[in-house]
Amino acid sequence: MYGRAYVIEHCVETYTRMMEERRYRAYLTDALMVLTENMAKFAGGKHLMKRWADEFMPKDTRTAEEIAADVIKNAGLTMGGELNGFDGSGGAAHP
């Protein structure tokens, strides 16, 4: 299989593998954090203070409006007026 379908399938598989690896790393480091924390309580030492997921997979703190504005800007789109009866208020526009 070659062409567009191959490229799409390859991208999906690569993304899936990448996300599985990230989940595994997060799981492993969370387990290590609990283990070192328990050992530190017993022996009086230090333990991991920050999760791997927090460091390498930070959460997006933008609002929905900010994300939408970024997507629109990056796609080169413009917004203006009503669009197919949608007024942007979360419901259909009333005549």
Beta bridge partners of 92: 86
Q: Each residue of 8-43: pLDDT tens digit?
A: 888 899 999 999 998 898 898 888 888 888 888 888
- Report the percentage of the chain scoring pLDDT > 90: 12
Res 84 pLDDT > 60 = no
In one letter, which amino acid is 74?
Answer: N
- The residues spanned by each domain of the chain are 4-75
The token duo for 43 is 């022996």
Residues found in the chain: 95
